[in-house]
């Protein structure tokens, strides 16, 4: 990889300052960024490690909201969120592999917004709020297509607030090589109704399947989805699956998620 | 004799201790004083003409020592091909030049154009980015059928076409086979693809070149399965360095599976550059680089047809295959789709007439060569898929159709119509064993249980034959091999009785350091701990051909037995002298020489000491010392065989296939270390199951590799696979090597792909999807779902 | 360049590292601990797995400077204090859980992390846990068996053909 200046601030304020410099890029777990840099596809002047920021770490629940620090690793979410939001914990426990889960973070995943990443589906289906150093962004406004988000340059995600739903589940059909989601569906039934978010399938990245949400709002049962189908237009087609196949999987995974949510 | 250390014992591997503690010594662990780093600038396009190469800016960058390109290699030879195939008209194959660095044209993504040698690797990479290559894009030749069209763009302009050869075997049978088809009561055919694979040993390739100008001595440390072959090919054909000025060392090597047999440009480069710069030069492949520079495997497109008579006897078999060679001929590439494939087309069956046609094709892809099994998996897959299809179409049980046509146990030795003579085998026995250990009888109950859970369960069977220990040298020479295929061993008995064995075989996971010691220990009757096995260094081992094709024990082990027998014969003479007895009366048992019928004896160390301290020694009739070398050239191949059973569950909603059970009943002849044999089968099965369900090397139409990393090339992982049940209790020993062994390294990868696909088709038929006759590998969820939904 | 210090296998060790120096390179080149292997460049194969402050991580995807001051354990630190093989290492030898040995350091480090948090894992848990460690030689059978055996479970019937 190209060389860069490594900076590891001890406070969020220092991190924000460091991120304000020309050519600075944030480093969270590095599970995607570092392999990309090894291929010399990315050339920051400085990498600002967020791994020394205690204020970005931790999971807490209060008033029906689970707040997860952006620097919390998947492994910690899998272990500590289970008591409050089991579906989210289960999702975190399926990301990558144990070593990836020990480094990769929620904030890193959301900032990258890989179209096949697991976390965006949980954030969108939960109707969560992304908290940054400067503002709060609703999930519906945050995801803006493949690898695109509402974040400004230098903006750092500090936490995500998940309203805890009554029922929820995530079911993922893994791409056989990368183990990312070929199609993953997160279903949540909460105070604001039923939300269904799909990752891995669309060329636009994570999206809400609104027809399914409506059908499930009437009756939260897999059978409510019987007559629905997802169009193949705009679905990803590659060697691992055609657009038609992914569209089909959206429905199958949604049914399974509803069944798992109970 | 300690029973835990001789032939037949599951002796724990001695090499494991260093590997488990991080003390293995792999090539990348070697760092020489003053070492420079090489970075290869590789083509990003599949096909193009190099119009210009501007390196001056790069040459001025920090740390750069020198930049090499094709012009630097004008005086040296290209990479040689080790096998010349003769086509069906009697003409030699078309053999293109294979320059060390691309000369005038690039022919695949990854073709090396220039090399930067710098003080550090990152400096070399930085400088490589400053090199400007002006390439005129040419249309890429990717699809094999299109490559053979009369107006196709040529990969090599100095050849007449993209056809390497059009091979017919047995050419004289061509008309008779056609005639048999015209008379057949039943005909069955199948079009299939044997998917392109990448061997992917976990250790990427590494080369470290070193040069000692004061002694004019070159040394290459390399990740090779056969250091002597590299020394010969590179020394004699590429760089012009005689053997005594060139040492090749392959230390601990992290797997090969065929991909580390071949002589690669990077090895020649590092050796050459070290001489030019008089400093060590190291290259370590990244995994991404491995995907576009290691030889690939398989990649056949085949149509196979079977003719049967009214009683369902196989009467003739006809196949037509397009085999991808890639852009250049890798070391043994031409032999794989021909001699290692055509000669196996009889399988385990009595089919009297067989004709195999293979057209080998040049394309703008990475060269294709042997990968675990090499030709034999392709033959087995075609045959075993076709027989299953035939059984289904004819409404008979696939197991019974096989049994009916098996070469029967009393028919050995059996001359097949495709040149080879199977010495031994008992296919009914392995089939019986498989049905027993796979609980075939209980399958329908398990299928019903799966169905109750909404899953489709299927059982698939395959019976394979393979040919290992390719030989004899004079025959393979007639078939086009440009090398011998013997093996060697030197047994050096030391004065106090310990033994150093120097073998031409090479262990890169097979455990020779343990098993070869077991053989010697058993023969002499001493503790295996007294025997060390040395391999991998041309400076101390006798010329040997290395390890591939499941040959090490059958060929290398036979050389070891021969050399050890010479040792024993001489030791008996020494013992006879010491015991003042006739040599004929000397018996060797448990490491002790005794005079038959007396209590007079001398132990092993007494004899070995006498050999090296020959005070009481018949010097007038015998030399002192106890060291012998033997070369063994087999008289025939060995023919392992076996029955494999796969049980799958298909998720009808997603098309995902899960292997729920896999059973193997192999006949490997005699077995030296059952634990290691089983491990070899396990590994082969995982690779075969990987081919069947997961792995695929895919190029787009422009020649870009779409599966250039583990993000898209699906390697089998622990949770893709079950525990296997393996058995090797069916034994018909090989009749023509001293240990009666056959070889076990490739079997798993040969027999498993058709068993898996047969199981999937069986499951789908049981689920009512009777319109599906075949799904090409990898049988991915998307493909299964598409097949289920194609009406 | 910066001098980076960490505690490796219980010993304080230092070497120079650039910003871009990966932990795997720091260990292999900087400290000469070549037991940690690098098998890919996309953070998939797991051959480079080490423990950082008790957690298994892929050292090829961690910057050395980012873990300055950490306690790192590599395969060289896994044997018993007297140099004999640990229970887990011994189980790999006893059950032939390695062939070429290249993925082995990562496998051992990953399996050790599993057993530290789950003293008696099921077969499925072992397989799921080893998802991030690719082995090309063994077909995983004997690796899974070794890990189960190391946890004290009876593996005598696994893979036995005749029942």
How far B125 CA lies from chain C's nearest CA (Å)? Answer: 14
How far B126 CA lies from chain A's nearest CA (Å)? Answer: 8
Model confidence band, residue B323 (pLDDT cutoffs 50, 70, 90)? very high
The region of weakest confidence among A121-125, B3-7, B308-312, B648-652 is B3-7
Q: Does C109 touch chain B (CB under 8 A)?
A: no
Average pLDDT over residues B114-126: 97
What 3-state class would DSSP assign to B321?
A: strand
Domains B31-83+94-138+202-255+260-291 and B296-470+636-788 share a fold: no
Q: What pLDDT digit, counting tens, does each position of B262-280 carry? A: 999 999 999 999 999 999 9
Contact B169, B294 (CB under 8 A): no
Q: What pLDDT digit, counting tens, does each position of B130-162 carry? A: 999 999 999 999 999 999 999 999 999 999 999
Closest to B273 (Cα-Cα) out of B79, B69, B106: B69
Contact B471, B634 (CB under 8 A): yes
Q: Say which of A1, A39, A99 has its CB closest to residue C58.
A: A99
Cβ-based contacts of A2 with chain B (< 8 Å)? 126
Give the A:C interface size as CB pairs under 8 Å. Answer: 74
The structural domains of chain B, with segments of one domain joined by +, span 16-23+486-632, 31-83+94-138+202-255+260-291, 296-470+636-788
Model confidence band, residue A262 (pLDDT cutoffs 50, 70, 90)? confident
Cβ-based contacts of B781 with chain A (< 8 Å)? 173, 176, 241, 245
Provide the pLDDT for residue A98: 98
Contact between A3 and B786 using a beta-carbon 8 Å cutoff: no
What is the DSSP annotation of B256-307? Answer: -TTTTTS--HHHHHHHHHHHHHTS-EEEE--HHHHHTTS-EE--EEEEEEEE
Interacting residues of B623 by C-beta distance below 8 A, sequence separation 6+: none
Interacting residues of B315 by C-beta distance below 8 A, sequence separation 6+: B180, B183, B184, B307, B308, B309, B351, B352, B353
Please, what's the largest Cα pairwise distance for chain B? Answer: 89
Chains that touch A (3 or more CB pairs under 8 A): B, C
Model confidence band, residue B3 (pLDDT cutoffs 50, 70, 90)? low
Q: Say which of B125, B653, B782 has its CB closest to residue A240.
A: B782
Burial code (b: 16+ CB inside 10 Å, e: under 16) for B111-148 equals bbbbbbbbbebbbbbbbbebbebebeebebbbbbeebb
Q: Does domain C2-76 bear CATH number 3.10.20.30? A: yes
Disruptive mutation site among C44, C136, C150 for chain B (greatest number of B CBs within 10 Å): C136
Burial class of B778 by CB neighbour count within 10 A (0 to 12, 13 to 18, 19+): buried
Q: What pLDDT digit, counting tens, does each position of A158-187 carry? A: 999 999 999 999 999 999 999 999 999 999
Closest to B230 (Cα-Cα) out of B282, B177, B266, B199: B266
Dist CA B573 CA A202 (whole Å): 81
The region of weakest confidence among B180-194, B476-490, B656-670, C28-42 is B476-490
Surface of B (123-162) touching A: CB under 8 A: 125-126, 129
Q: Which helix (H) or strand (E) holds B323?
A: strand B314-326
Average pLDDT over residues B45-58: 97
Measured in degrees and rounded to the nearest 5, phi and psi for residue B461 equal -125, 150
For the cut 90, the answer to whether the pLDDT of residue C92 exceeds it is yes
Query: How many Å separate Cα A24 from the centre of its chain?
Result: 23
For the cut 80, the answer to whether the pLDDT of residue A156 exceeds it is yes
Domains present along chain A, CATH in parentheses: 5-49 (3.30.43.10), 54-163 (3.30.465.10), 167-261 (3.30.390.50)
Token readout for B74 is 């004008």
How far A183 CA lies from chain B's nearest CA (Å)? Answer: 11
Average pLDDT, chain B: 97
For the cut 60, the answer to whether the pLDDT of residue B225 exceeds it is yes
Average pLDDT over residues B414-424: 96
Disruptive mutation site among B4, B13, B21 for chain C (greatest number of C CBs within 10 Å): B21
Spell out the CATH class of B296-470+636-788.
Answer: alpha beta
The structural domains of chain C, with segments of one domain joined by +, span 2-76, 87-150
Q: Does A5 touch chain C (CB under 8 A)?
A: yes
Q: Does C159 touch chain B (CB under 8 A)?
A: yes
The ipTM assigned to this model is 0.98
pTM of the model: 0.97
Average pLDDT over residues A56-60: 97
Dist CA C120 CA C113 (whole Å): 12
The architecture of the domain spanning C87-150 is: Orthogonal Bundle (1.10)
Disruptive mutation site among C137, C142, C154 for chain B (greatest number of B CBs within 10 Å): C137
Burial code (b: 16+ CB inside 10 Å, e: under 16) for B443-469 equals beebbeebeeeebbbbbbbbbbbbbbb
Provide the pLDDT for residue C161: 55
Contact between B663 and C161 using a beta-carbon 8 Å cutoff: yes
Surface of C (51-80) touching B: CB under 8 A: 74-76, 78-79
How many CA atoms lie within 13 Å of B371's alpha carbon, on the beta-carbon side?
23
Q: Which helix (H) or strand (E) holds B456?
A: strand B456-465
* Bridge partners, B324 (sequence order): B361
Provide the pLDDT for residue A175: 97
Average pLDDT over residues B581-609: 96
Model confidence band, residue C163 (pLDDT cutoffs 50, 70, 90)? very low
Q: What pLDDT digit, counting tens, does each position of A123-133 carry? A: 999 999 999 99
CATH topology of domain B16-23+486-632: Aldehyde Oxidoreductase; domain 4 (3.30.365)
Q: Which helix (H) or strand (E) holds B674?
A: helix B674-693
The region of weakest confidence among B471-475, B635-639, C8-12 is B471-475
Average pLDDT over residues B54-65: 98
The percent of residues in chain C predicted with pLDDT above 70, rounded, is 98
Cβ-based contacts of B719 with chain C (< 8 Å)? 124, 127-128, 130-131
Cβ-based contacts of C41 with chain A (< 8 Å)? 35, 38-39
Closest to B266 (Cα-Cα) out of B407, B159, B111, B87: B111
Contact B114, B68 (CB under 8 A): yes
Cβ-based contacts of C55 with chain A (< 8 Å)? 75, 102
Interacting residues of A232 by C-beta distance below 8 A, sequence separation 6+: A242, A243, A244, A246, A247
For the cut 50, the answer to whether the pLDDT of residue A221 exceeds it is yes
Average pLDDT, chain A: 96
For the cut 70, the answer to whether the pLDDT of residue B351 exceeds it is yes
Dist CA B140 CA B383 (whole Å): 33
Cβ-based contacts of C18 with chain A (< 8 Å)? 3
For the cut 60, the answer to whether the pLDDT of residue B80 exceeds it is yes
Closest to B744 (Cα-Cα) out of B645, B632, B642: B642
Chains that touch C (3 or more CB pairs under 8 A): A, B
Closest to C155 (Cα-Cα) out of C129, C113, C126, C114: C126
Provide the pLDDT for residue B114: 98
Contact between B686 and C140 using a beta-carbon 8 Å cutoff: yes
Dist CA B474 CA C73 (whole Å): 55
Q: Does A62 touch chain C (CB under 8 A)?
A: no
Contact B740, B669 (CB under 8 A): yes
Q: What is the DSSP letter of B440?
A: G
How far A176 CA lies from chain C's nearest CA (Å)? Answer: 12
How far A154 CA lies from chain B's nearest CA (Å)? Answer: 28
Q: Say which of C28, C76, C100 has its CB closest to residue B254.
A: C100
Average pLDDT over residues B222-228: 97
Average pLDDT over residues C49-67: 98
For the cut 70, the answer to whether the pLDDT of residue C162 exceeds it is no
For the cut 80, the answer to whether the pLDDT of residue B49 exceeds it is yes
Average pLDDT, chain C: 96
Dist CA C22 CA C27 (whole Å): 9
Please, what's the largest Cα pairwise distance for chain C? Answer: 62
The architecture of the domain spanning B31-83+94-138+202-255+260-291 is: Alpha-Beta Complex (3.90)
Provide the pLDDT for residue B319: 98
Dist CA B536 CA B232 (whole Å): 14
How far C61 CA lies from chain A's nearest CA (Å)? Answer: 6
How far B700 CA lies from chain C's nearest CA (Å)? Answer: 21
Q: Does B662 touch chain C (CB under 8 A)?
A: no
Q: What is the DSSP letter of B530?
A: G
Q: Say which of A4, A6, A35 has its CB closest to residue C61.
A: A35
Contact between A245 and B288 using a beta-carbon 8 Å cutoff: no
Can you say whether the dihedral through the CA atoms of B365, B369, B372, B373 is positive or negative? positive
How far A100 CA lies from chain C's nearest CA (Å)? Answer: 7
Q: Does B441 touch chain C (CB under 8 A)?
A: no
Q: Does A144 touch chain B (CB under 8 A)?
A: no
Q: Does A249 touch chain B (CB under 8 A)?
A: yes
């Amino acid at each position: 990889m190209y060389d860069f200046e490594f900076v590891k601030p001890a406070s969020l304020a220092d991190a924000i300052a460091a991120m304000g410099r020309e050519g600075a890029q944030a480093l969270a777990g590095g599970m995607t960024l570092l392999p990309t840099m090894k291929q010399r596809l990315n050339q920051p002047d400085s990498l600002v490690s967020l791994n020394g920021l205690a204020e970005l770490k931790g999971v807490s629940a209060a008033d029906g909201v689970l707040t997860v620090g952006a620097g919390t690793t998947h492994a910690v979410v899998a272990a500590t969120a289970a008591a409050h939001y089991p579906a989210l914990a289960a999702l975190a426990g399926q990301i990558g592999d144990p070593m990836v889960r020990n480094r990769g973070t929620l904030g890193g995943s959301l900032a990258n917004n890989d179209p096949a990443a697991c976390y965006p589906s949980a954030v969108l289906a939960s109707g969560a709020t992304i908290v940054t150093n400067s503002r709060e962004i609703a999930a519906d406004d945050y995801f803006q297509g493949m690898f695109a988000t509402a974040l400004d340059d230098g903006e750092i995600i500090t936490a995500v607030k998940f309203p805890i739903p009554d029922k929820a589940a995530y079911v993922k059909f893994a791409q056989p090589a990368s183990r990312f989601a070929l199609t993953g569906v997160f279903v949540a039934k909460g105070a604001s109704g039923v939300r269904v978010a799909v990752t891995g399938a669309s060329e636009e990245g994570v999206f809400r399947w609104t027809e399914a949400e409506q059908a499930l709002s009437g009756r939260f049962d897999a059978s409510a989805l019987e007559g629905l189908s997802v169009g193949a237009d705009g679905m990803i087609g590659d060697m691992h699956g055609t657009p038609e196949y992914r569209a089909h999987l959206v429905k199958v995974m949604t049914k399974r998620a509803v069944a798992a949510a109970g | 004799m300690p029973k835990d250390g001789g032939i037949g014992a599951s002796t724990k591997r001695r090499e494991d201790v260093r590997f488990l503690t991080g003390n293995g010594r792999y090539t990348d662990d070697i760092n020489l004083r003053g070492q420079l780093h090489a970075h290869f600038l590789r083509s990003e396009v599949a096909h193009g003409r190099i119009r210009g190469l501007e390196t001056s800016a790069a040459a001025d960058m920090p740390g750069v020592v020198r930049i090499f390109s094709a012009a630097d290699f004008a005086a040296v030879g290209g990479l040689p091909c080790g096998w010349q195939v003769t086509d069906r008209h009697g003409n030699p194959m078309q053999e293109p030049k294979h320059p060390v660095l691309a000369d005038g044209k690039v022919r695949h993504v990854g073709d090396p154009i220039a090399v930067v040698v710098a003080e550090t690797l990152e400096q070399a990479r930085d400088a490589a980015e400053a090199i400007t290559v002006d390439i005129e894009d040419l249309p890429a030749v990717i699809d094999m059928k299109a490559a053979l069209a009369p107006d196709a763009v040529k990969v090599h302009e100095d050849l007449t076409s993209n056809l390497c050869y059009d091979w017919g075997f047995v050419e004289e049978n061509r008309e008779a086979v056609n005639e048999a088809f015209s008379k057949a009561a039943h005909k069955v055919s199948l079009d299939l693809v044997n998917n392109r694979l990448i061997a992917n040993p976990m250790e990427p390739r590494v080369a470290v070149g070193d040069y000692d100008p004061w002694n004019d001595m070159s040394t290459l440390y390399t990740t090779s399965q056969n250091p002597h072959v590299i020394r010969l090919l590179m020394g004699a054909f590429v760089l012009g360095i005689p053997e005594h000025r060139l040492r090749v060392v392959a230390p601990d090597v992290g797997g090969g599976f065929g991909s580390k047999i071949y002589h690669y440009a990077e090895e020649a480069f590092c050796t050459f550059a070290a001489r030019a710069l008089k400093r060590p030069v190291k290259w370590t492949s990244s995994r991404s680089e491995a995907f576009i520079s290691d030889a690939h495997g398989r990649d056949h497109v085949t149509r196979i047809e079977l003719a049967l008579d009214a009683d369902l006897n196989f009467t003739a078999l006809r196949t037509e295959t397009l085999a991808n060679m890639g852009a250049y001929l890798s070391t043994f590439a031409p032999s794989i789709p021909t001699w290692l494939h055509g000669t196996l087309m009889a399988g385990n069956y009595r089919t009297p007439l067989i004709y195999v046609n293979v057209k080998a094709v040049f394309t703008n892809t990475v060269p294709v060569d042997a990968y675990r099994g090499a030709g034999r998996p392709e033959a087995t897959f075609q045959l075993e898929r076709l027989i299953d299809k035939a059984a289904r179409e004819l409404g008979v049980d696939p197991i019974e159709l096989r049994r009916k046509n098996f070469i029967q146990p009393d028919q050995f030795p059996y001359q097949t119509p495709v040149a080879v003579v199977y010495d031994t085998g008992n296919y009914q026995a392995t089939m019986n064993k498989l049905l027993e250990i796979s609980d075939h009888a209980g399958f329908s109950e398990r299928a019903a249980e799966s169905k109750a859970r909404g899953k489709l369960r299927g059982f698939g069977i395959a019976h394979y034959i393979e040919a290992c220990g390719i030989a004899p040298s004079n025959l393979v020479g007639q078939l086009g091999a440009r090398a011998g295929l013997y093996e060697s061993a030197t047994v050096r008995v030391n004065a106090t009785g310990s033994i150093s064995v120097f073998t031409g075989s090479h262990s890169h996971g097979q455990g020779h350091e343990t098993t070869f010691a077991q053989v010697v220990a058993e023969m002499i009757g001493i503790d295996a701990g007294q025997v060390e096995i040395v391999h991998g260094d041309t400076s101390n081992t006798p010329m040997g051909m290395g390890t591939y094709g499941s040959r090490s024990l059958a060929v290398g082990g036979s050389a070891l037995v021969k050399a050890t027998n010479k040792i024993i014969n001489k030791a008996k003479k020494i013992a006879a002298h010491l015991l003042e007895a006739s040599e004929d009366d000397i018996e060797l048992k448990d490491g002790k020489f005794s005079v038959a019928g007396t209590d007079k004896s001398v132990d092993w160390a007494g004899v070995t000491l006498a050999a090296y301290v020959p005070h009481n020694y018949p010097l007038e009739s015998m030399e002192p010392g106890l060291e012998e070398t033997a070369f063994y050239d087999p008289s025939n191949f060995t023919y392992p065989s076996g029955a494999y059973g796969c049980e799958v569950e298909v998720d009808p909603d997603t098309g995902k296939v899960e292997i729920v059970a896999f059973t193997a009943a192999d006949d490997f002849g005699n077995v030296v270390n059952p634990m290691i044999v089983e491990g070899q089968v396990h590994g082969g099965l995982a690779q075969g199951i990987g081919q069947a369900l997961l792995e695929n090397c895919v190029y787009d139409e422009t020649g870009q590799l779409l599966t250039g990393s583990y993000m898209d090339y699906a390697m089998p992982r622990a949770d893709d696979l079950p525990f296997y049940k393996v058995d090797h209790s069916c034994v018909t020993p090989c009749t023509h090597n001293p240990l009666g062994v056959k070889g076990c390294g490739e079997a798993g990868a040969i027999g498993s792909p058709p068993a898996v696909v047969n199981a999937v088709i069986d499951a789908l038929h049981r689920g009512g999807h009777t319109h599906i006759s075949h799904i090409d590998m990898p049988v991915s969820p998307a493909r299964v779902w598409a097949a289920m939904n194609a009406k | 360049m910066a001098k980076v210090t960490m505690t490796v296998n219980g010993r304080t060790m230092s070497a120079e590292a650039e910003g871009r120096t990966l932990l795997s390179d720091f260990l292999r080149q900087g400290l000469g601990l070549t037991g940690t292997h690098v098998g890919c460049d996309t953070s998939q194969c797991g051959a480079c797995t080490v423990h950082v402050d008790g957690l298994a991580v892929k050292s090829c995807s961690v910057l050395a400077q980012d873990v300055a001051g950490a306690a790192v354990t590599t395969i060289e630190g896994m044997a018993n204090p007297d140099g004999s093989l640990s229970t887990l290492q011994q189980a790999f030898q006893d059950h032939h859980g390695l062939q070429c040995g290249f993925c082995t350091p990562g496998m051992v480090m990953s399996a050790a992390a599993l057993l530290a948090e789950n003293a008696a894992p099921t077969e499925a848990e072992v397989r799921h846990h080893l998802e991030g460690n690719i082995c090309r030689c063994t077909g995983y059978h004997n690796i899974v068996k070794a890990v189960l055996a190391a946890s004290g479970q009876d593996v005598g019937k696994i893979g036995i053909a005749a029942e």
